[in-house]
Amino acid sequence: MVPVDSPTNAPGLLHRGRAGRLESAAALAAAVLGVALVVAWEVARPRLPAPFELGIAARAPGVPAWALRLPMAATALLGLGVFYTFLRRAADRGAAGYAVAVLATAPAWFVQGRTMTGAIVPMACSALVLAGLGIAVLDESATTRTKQLAFAAAAVAAAASVLASRWGMPNRGLVAVVAVPAIAVGAAGLLWKTPARGTAKAVLAVGLALGGVAAAATITGTGSWLGEVVLGSASIATKTTFEAPVAAIAYGLVPWTPIVPLALARRPSSAAHLALLIAAVLAVAVHAVLAPRTGSTTLVGVAAIAGAVALMLRSLESSTRPALGIACTVLVIGWLVAHDVKLAPERILIAFGATDAAIPAANATASSLAIRSSIWLFMVLSCVALVVPRAWLPAGRGLAIVAAGAFAGLVLRAHAYPELLSRLSPGAAFDAWAHSHRPGEPLGLVGVDLRSVAFAPGTAIAPQRDAPTAGRWLASAAHGVPEEPRRFLALAAGELPRVNAEYRGAHGKNVPVLGGSGSATLLATSSLLGSERSDNPLDAIVLGAAPRALRPIGAVLDDRLEALGWQLTDDDGHAIDAVPRGGKTVHVRVALAVKAALASGAYCTFLHVDHTPSRFSAEHRELPYPIALWRPGDVVIDDFTVKLPAHFRAGSYRMFWGVGLLPCEDDRRLGVTAGPTDGHDRIPGGTLEVR
């Protein structure tokens, strides 16, 4: 056996040492490069800000959007790095890595880290204060120098959170950012009886003093400068109520939401664990108390919750028995959140710190489906990791759950939220304007934030009072005149039907749409040039002539509407002969010719497929192109999505269509004045085949 210090062995050891250092350096360089690429991709998308960023971008006209987002991304990365250091010293590298994985894939953190709103600043500052005080008070192995640096970092973070408002960033106040971590760390140091009890008392006293100042500010008047510094800026937006933290956790921590209640109820295993639990609970309480003042905001103490989740998952590593109780809890809470997102898709905007915004109806289904899919993915994979035998897992149960959550969270980070941002952003419409307009051609705005014109410099802006006025303004431009300037109109997607009705009334065709289809903001133009093609979503609904291959009906309602016929199509718009069995979705498209505008009143349309003992019914109380806008000469398609229940077996079923009177809860209907009827003002459409 050759001695370790033998000259024969020394070169080999030296070679292996160099190789190890080179390997570590290469791995670190690859990790840094990967993070840099992700950050670069995120801050550059979308090219124009979502509505939540318009105010910030308008204050810096001409500055590229990525330049305003990059500092926010750097702040998010700094918060992750410092929080990792705290948990690595307080627990181990595994727990620290888990915390970073949870935090980096939680929408409340990464959404703010990729947008220019500045909301990531108080969140990161809170994490920095918690980490700094935690190392200084609870880390017994820390040297005096390390503790001094930790205190300094916490003080700098506290000052930055206060000064953030001077740079146009949200100020959430010293109570949420400093007092909560200080009370948590000080109380944990005393309750766990750490050696640094004197320091813990001092930190706790600072936190309690800030709480007392906050109470005094509330009594003397929260609008004072003291209230601004301690409690944060008062929001002028829609106020929220005290249960705001429930929504902030439920939708801001997807897909980790089902784990949060279990993590907060866990018995602490160390002083740092106890500090994280206290900080998480206090953060929720403070968020609830300040919600009526600050309005809809993200949860400042999200890092403490992520740390508690990480330590809980780390504790599951050594578990050999199936955790059926945890699996059931994950299923129940996950299903509740996913179901709520399905019922109210706008809830997913809480990750932006917004509750008073709305997702356009055309985008709500796709956006909520992506979020729900991520939740279900995490639920299924986590439950499998919790109930299968330990021998089936290559690592512990905790690591398996972290991998499941990280994968589901990356789906959110790389697909779901970027897609939602691009749909909410006016970027596609303004990109189309940049490529299509010529100098001197005016740009009108209706239903679009006036601050959006920061991205159309040097343009004659013509804000319009309402959609009908905008439609008439667009239609009044000269058509077919060589070199005559065109007009452009940036409009909210919800304003398109009324703009289209005015334009159609003047020219007998739908308004041309050049960009933004499928997004919240569209770009319309007065006319098309050369190879330009319109992408108006109403082109499939409002026609100038009846489509071909209709199954004829030939009935007239109130001498105003004529039901020409209907066709059966699949989800891709291809004509089919019958409804496939097995719950497949099809579309029954009824073509209507408008002979005269309907009399004043509110109407709905309905489709009945008769069956014994129960029939299939579908109603349209709101149509993509409202009945009030129908004009003589229009051919309108009433498109019903049909998914027949399982008891509709193969066979032929009679189908009826008609127009009812709102609220469509009785048999009051528009009368059939010519053509077939069943005697109850329902128009027979023939038979619907099921095969």
Kindly report, residue by residue over 51-81, the tens digit of the pLDDT: 788 878 777 777 888 888 999 999 999 999 9
Residues ≥6 apart with Cβ < 8 Å to 476 = 506
The amino acid occupying position 523 is L
283 lies in some domain: yes
- Residues near 423 by Cβ (< 8 Å), separated by ≥ 6? 359, 360, 363, 367, 518, 519, 520
What's the burial of 266, exposed, middle or buried (CB within 10 Å: 0-12/13-18/19+)? middle
- Residues 360 and 371 reside in one and the same domain: yes
Count CB atoms within 10 A of the CB of residue 282. 23
Last residue of a domain, one of 539, 555, 586: 539
Are residues 666 and 519 part of one domain? no
Are 512 and 578 found together in one domain? Answer: no
Residue 342 and residue 247 share a domain: yes
Alpha-carbon span 466 to 445, nearest angstrom: 9
Between helix 197-220 and helix 120-138 the angle, nearest 10°, is 150
Residue 554 lies in a domain: yes
Whether 419 and 462 share a structural domain: no
Domain boundary among 514, 539, 564: 539
379 and 251 in a single domain? The answer is yes
Q: Can you give the pLDDT at residue 312?
A: 95
Dist. CA 39–CA 407, nearest whole Å: 18
pLDDT at 101: 95
Do 106 and 94 reside in the same domain of the chain? yes
Record the tokens describing residue 77, joined without a space.
């990365």
Omega prior to 46 cis, within 30 of 0: yes
Q: What is the pTM of this model?
A: 0.82
What CA–CA distance (Å, rounded) separates 244 from 256?
Answer: 18
- 643/654 same-domain check: yes
Statement to judge: residues 126 and 256 lie in one domain: yes
Q: What is the CATH number of the domain that holds 570?
A: 2.70.50.60
The predicted structure's pLDDT at residue 48: 76
436 shares its domain with 581: no
> DSSP code of 215?
H
Identify which of 160, 173, 168 has the alpha carbon closest to the alpha carbon of residue 54: 168
In the beta sheet, which residues pair with residue 446? 491
Cα atoms in the 13 Å half-sphere on the side-chain side of 617 = 13
Q: What is the pLDDT of residue 346?
A: 79
- Assigned domain for 38 exists: no
Pairing of β 672-674 and β 616-620: unpaired
Q: Tell how strand 521-525 and strand 488-492 pair up.
A: antiparallel
What is the rounded distance in angstroms from the CA atom of residue 106 to the CA atom of residue 120?
A: 12
Instruction: Provide DSSP, 285-325.
Output: HHHHHHHHHH-S---TTHHHHHHHHHHHHHHTTT--S--HH
> Range of 576's domain?
542-690
Q: What is the pLDDT of residue 274?
A: 96
**Beta pairing class for 443-446 and 461-463:** parallel
Distance CA 606, CA 660 (A): 7
Q: Which residue, 493, 511, 365, 487, is CA-closest to 437?
A: 487
What was the pLDDT predicted at 602?
A: 84
H/E run at residue 25 = helix 10-43
What pLDDT digit, counting tens, does each position of 340-363 carry? 988 888 788 877 776 556 666 666
So what's the pLDDT on residue 477?
86
Q: Is 123 exposed, middle or buried (0-12, 13-18, 19+ CB in 10 A)?
A: buried
Long-range contacts, stretch 432-437, CB < 8 angstroms, 24+ apart: 432/514, 432/515, 432/516, 432/523, 433/488, 433/490, 433/514, 433/515, 433/523, 436/488, 436/514, 436/515, 436/523, 436/525, 436/532, 437/486, 437/488
How many CB atoms within 10 Å of residue 1?
Answer: 4
Domain presence at residue 31: no
Judgement on whether residues 437 and 411 belong to the same structural domain of the protein: no
> Of 390, 424, 458, which residue constitutes the final position of a domain?
424
Q: What span, in angstroms and rounded, lies between the C-alpha atoms of 275 and 187?
A: 7
* Contacts (Cβ under 8 Å, ≥6 apart) of 666: none
Residues 6+ apart with CB under 8 A from 281: 264
Report if residue 588 sits inside a domain.
yes
**What is the Cα–Cα distance from 147 to 134, expressed in whole angstroms?**
9
In a domain, 135, yes or no: yes
* Distance in angstroms (rounded) separating the CA atoms of residues 389 and 442: 68
Q: How many domains does the chain have?
A: 3
**Are 560 and 636 contacting, i.e. CB atoms less than 8 angstroms apart?**
no
Residue 21 lies in a domain: no
Q: How many CB atoms lie within 10 A of CB 300?
A: 30
Q: Could you give the 3-state DSSP secondary structure of residue 482?
A: coil
- The answer to whether residues 485 and 440 touch, using CB atoms and an 8 Å cutoff, is yes
Let me know whether 455 and 512 are in one domain: yes
What is the distance of C-alpha 237 from the center of its chain?
Answer: 19
The rounded Cα 432 to chain-centroid distance in angstroms is: 24
Q: What are the residues whose beta carbons fall under 8 Å from the beta carbon of 191, sequence distance 6 or more?
A: 274
pLDDT at 355: 58
The answer to whether residue 446 is domain-embedded is yes
Low-confidence ranges of the chain (pLDDT < 50): 1-8, 13
Contacts 24+ apart (CB under 8 A), 395-401: 395/317, 396/316, 396/317, 396/318, 396/319, 397/316, 397/317, 397/319, 397/323, 398/98, 398/312, 398/313, 398/314, 398/315, 398/316, 398/317, 398/319, 399/94, 399/313, 399/317, 401/259, 401/313, 401/316
